[in-house]
Amino acid sequence: MNDRHHADVLIIGSGAAGLAAAIQLADRAHVIVLSKDSIDGGSTNRAQGGIAAVTGPGDSPEDHIRDTMRAGAGLCDEQVVRYAVEKGPEVIDLLMDYGLLFDTDSEATFHLTREGGHSHRRVLHVADHTGRAIEGALTQRALEHAGIEFLIGRLAIDVVTTGKLGILPDRAIGAYVYNRETDDVELIQASNIVLATGGASKVYLYTSNPDGATGDGVAMAWRAGCRVANMEFNQFHPTCLYHPHAKSFLISEAVRGEGGRLLLPNGDSFMHRFDPRGELASRDVVARAIDHEMKRLGADCLYLDVSHRSADFIESHFPTIRARCERFGIDMTREPVPVVPAAHYTCGGVLVDRHGATDVPGLYAIGETACTGLHGANRLASNSLLECMVFAHSAADHILGDLTSGKPRLPDAPAWDASRVTDSDEDVVLSHNWDELRRFMWDYVGIVRTNKRLERAYRRIELLKKEVHEYYANHHISNDLIELRNVILVAELMVRCAMSRRESRGLHYTLDYPHTLKRALPSVLSPSADPWDVLQPLADRRSRAKS
């Protein structure tokens, strides 16, 4: 078995961001793309709604920028927003060059949908499976390229840096990788590493994300010495299918964009009481409204009704959603669909510049893993696929410039040492900790928060960290252990950011500080900082001396 690989660029993650970067790089570099499962196993493949870009009459980049900034509640970086929006049409042209066929209307122009927070119809789509279509086009292009090597069924454990080896200046030089098939650890050395691992919504009990959304890239970047930002802003998609066997299947925001109405169990509409935009308010507003009404009524779910549209219209626009609903005995052409909010998107992440570069030279982060400044305190619907494509290309161009100037000489990293660990006979500890973490994060760090809830979560996280650290230090690693180690760390970062924000803004709503401050500041955490710098401001925190 080959337990050591070499490449110019290692890309960890095979979603839209990872594949787009790989394709851009492969003509001039040897690229290894790492995938946990199959190539199409990530969140991109689940994206239903579409990709936002200015292509329609009456729309403008300024309007798209304004909508994005408004959704971001004052925390967006306007220069980054402008850069992404202005690159939108180029991204659409590129995807079409890759063979993607967006839906068109009878005049052969793009059929555009409108989603929450958008002032125009500007969301291009392929029926209700746009992510799957984009992933398919990128995958085919990548598989055809001789410069791209895929390593499937691999889970990255940690980034290797020269600093960890006692060699300065610090830079990323590779990664340790767990081979799920052979149960061995491999070393991949590369002069540049791109983290494109997606988000961290698996930290919550209810999520629209795949099982692999465990925040691996954020955790690895933090352990490598990178700052993270805005981790308190977890977007809860307002409408996931409520059914015991649906496994949090998403009901696209485009359903509301095409006239779908949210209803109480008695059939009354309610969104007009929370926002003048009604069902087309931004996701944070809609999710909070649904959560409020469910708690007020003691209801298990609310309902989304689009049955006033024709069956032909529903079938042509939402074939995937209709088929999934019918599988569970729900005919959305005749009756409302039961829905609940679920954790959907991590708006914060690894702090990067416009090129996706982190604090560690040679280490990049793109897509949902990164905090670019595009989303601020709340992501505007369908800006995620746009971000993946735009910043994948920006990072790739920056890496190519680095490679052109001369590849750095990389010291040989040591092989993974498992000589002092043993097999564990207590795997029940992992499953128990997984369940406990996701339940208290849902209860205490969910759509509505308080100081007491956050403190409860933090105390429990500290206990879990100690248990998992001991387990990791003494036993052979496994898939569940690696992901649990990562998701506990990410949960801690989320809670620490939430504790530091003494206001309600965007996706972070706390009953203790319901008002929004005039000045918007990001929540930035550094691995070198004392956690007490963040925790001390809480009024009910015990004194440092007593703790």
pLDDT per residue, tens digit, the chain (547 aa), is: 468 999 999 999 999 999 999 999 999 999 999 999 888 777 787 777 899 999 988 999 999 999 999 999 999 999 999 999 999 999 999 999 999 999 998 777 999 999 888 999 999 999 888 999 999 999 999 999 999 999 999 999 999 999 999 999 999 999 999 999 999 999 999 999 999 999 999 999 889 888 899 999 999 999 999 999 999 999 998 999 999 888 778 898 889 989 999 999 999 999 999 999 999 888 888 999 999 999 899 999 999 999 999 999 999 999 999 999 999 999 999 999 999 999 999 999 999 999 999 999 999 999 999 999 999 999 998 999 999 999 999 999 999 998 888 777 889 999 998 888 888 777 788 889 999 999 999 999 999 999 999 999 999 999 999 999 988 888 899 999 999 999 999 999 999 999 999 999 999 999 999 999 999 999 999 998 644 333 333 333 223 323 3
Count of residues making up the chain: 547
Measuring CA to CA, how many Å separate 379 from each of 61, 371, 511? 17, 11, 22
Q: Which residues contact 530 (CB under 8 A, 6 or more apart)?
A: none
Q: What secondary structure, in 3-state letters, does 80-105 show?
A: HHHHHHHHHHHHHHHHHHCCCCCCEC
Q: What CATH code is carried by the domain that includes residue 325?
A: 3.90.700.10
Q: Which domain holds residue 515?
A: 428-535
Distance of alpha carbon 293 from alpha carbon 339, whole angstroms: 12
Diameter over CA atoms, the chain = 72
Residues 174 and 411 sit within 8 Å (Cβ to Cβ):
no
Domain end point (choices 343, 359, 391): 343
| Residue 60 placed within a domain | no
User: Residue 356: its pLDDT value, please?
Assistant: 98
Handedness of CA 501, 502, 508, 510 (dihedral sign): positive
Domain end point (choices 320, 343, 366): 343
| Residue 476 placed within a domain | yes
Q: Which of 114, 121, 283, 288 is catalytic?
A: 283
Of 117, 127, 124, 106, which Cα lies nearest the Cα of 55?
124
Residues 36 and 155 sit within 8 Å (Cβ to Cβ):
yes
3-class SS at 421?
A: coil
| Residue 414 placed within a domain | no
Q: Which residues contact 320 (CB under 8 A, 6 or more apart)?
A: 48, 127, 128, 129
Of 496, 374, 407, which Cα lies nearest the Cα of 80?
374
Domain count, the chain: 2
Measuring CA to CA, how many Å separate 185 from each of 7, 120, 180, 243? 17, 50, 9, 39
| Residue 309 placed within a domain | yes
| Residue 280 placed within a domain | yes
Tokens 């956690």 belong to: 531
DSSP string, 66-83: HHHHHHTTT-S-HHHHHH
Distance of alpha carbon 299 from alpha carbon 304, whole angstroms: 14
**Upper half-sphere CA count for residue 180 (Cβ side, 13 Å):** 16
Residue 271 phi, psi (nearest 5): -65, -25
| Residue 154 placed within a domain | no
Q: Which residues contact 396 (CB under 8 A, 6 or more apart)?
A: 20, 21, 24, 25
Handedness of CA 96, 356, 465, 541 (dihedral sign): negative
Q: What CATH code is carried by the domain that includes residue 468?
A: 1.20.58.100
Q: Any idea what DSSP says for residue 516?
A: P
Residues 415 and 187 sit within 8 Å (Cβ to Cβ):
yes
| Residue 268 placed within a domain | yes
Distance of alpha carbon 483 from alpha carbon 201, whole angstroms: 12
The C-alpha R_g of the chain, in whole angstroms, comes to 23
Distance of alpha carbon 178 from alpha carbon 421, whole angstroms: 16
Residues 152 and 144 sit within 8 Å (Cβ to Cβ):
no
Residues 387 and 380 sit within 8 Å (Cβ to Cβ):
no
* Residue 160, strand partner residues: 174
Q: Is 283 a known active-site residue? A: yes
Q: Which residues contact 303 (CB under 8 A, 6 or more apart)?
A: 262, 263, 264, 265, 336, 337, 338, 339
Q: Which residues contact 546 (CB under 8 A, 6 or more apart)?
A: none
| Residue 159 placed within a domain | no
Domain end point (choices 343, 358, 388): 343
- Element of type H or E holding 134: helix 130-143
Return the number of other C-beta atoms located less than 10 Å from residue 432's C-beta. 13
Q: Which two tokens stand for residue 162?
A: 């020269």
Sheet with strand 234-241: strands edge to edge: 234-241, 337-346, 302-305, 261-263
Of 235, 188, 152, 197, which Cα lies nearest the Cα of 17?
197
